[in-house]
Amino acid sequence: MRVLVTGAAGYVGYAVGRRLVAAGHEVAGLVRDAARDLPPGVRPVVGDLLDAASLTFDGPFDAVVHLAALTRVRESFTDPLRYFEVNVQGTVNLLRAVPAPRVVYGSTAAVYGTPPVQPVPETQPPAPASPYGASKLAAEEVVRYHARTGAAGAVVLRTFNAAGSVAGRPDPDPTRLIPRALAVAAGHAPHLEVNGDGSAIREYLHVDDLAAAHVAALDAARPGGEAVYNVGGGSGASVAEVVATVEEVTGRPVPVLRRPPRPEPPLLVGDSAAIRRDLGWRPGRSALPEIIEGAWRALLRSGG
């Protein structure tokens, strides 16, 4: 297929672009700057999702994989209007400009908020607890209602904590736990701040496994249909387990500075049975030591 990937130079978009090219698709990456680093085989297309007039393309696409978004939960509280502008209006502008019969939308488990049911199934009613989660849920609705007009088949993927590295590229978000712990191991910070006792459990998914899920979803986005899938690594790990694994993999200490606990769920993992059943997808690289080892090598390669 001829596929347009938004956010193709980003952390997840780069991994998805690699996978799509390897699967034999003709891939274009929507970027605001043609000089951005794209995967080999991905053709740059310059445009801005907030500038509808800039979204002009040389011919139709068979599918679009929409990944461009603002993604930081805490930042979304300081500028919620920006998050809704980029994540929702950007999605509207994209769907108007690209009448592709297949749409895969990269969403987030943040749409669930703090659900009481664990592991979280797709049937859990969304209750986002941040502007980020609310904006992604609103964009999901845009994609799904667009599909209901018959304009496109749509698959929404709700991700639980992407991590790790592909092609030697480190996770660019220094606010996430694994990059923060690795930064301490590398000597960039004196300690890792942890809220509470470190027992909170989260699920981690290798970014390459997430990319494979997007490729599988592309084949499943049948015109006229819609589906929502959780995408998770299959098991959770506590903050303390992440720290211990970082120390084991790097051979370096990660001193922890404990802060008062914050209100947060003690356990947040996803039920990914549906995508395994329907699309035949399985995580192959999401064991915590492999995620951390690849992330550590990428950090060292990048000069860290």
19, 289, 71, 130: CA torsion to nearest 10: 140
112 catalytically annotated: no
- Please state the φ and ψ torsions of residue 65, each to the nearest 5 degrees: -110, 110
| Cα–Cα distance for residue pair 14/241, rounded to 1 Å | 28
Joined tokens for residue 144: 């799904």
State which amino acid sits at residue 287: A
| Cα–Cα distance for residue pair 79/74, rounded to 1 Å | 9
Q: 82 CB contacts (<8 Å, ≥6 apart)?
A: 70
Joined tokens for residue 282: 């399985």
Per DSSP, the three-state class of 108 is: strand
Q: Pick the catalytic residue: 132, 145, 204, 229?
A: 132
Catalytic residues, by residue number, are 132
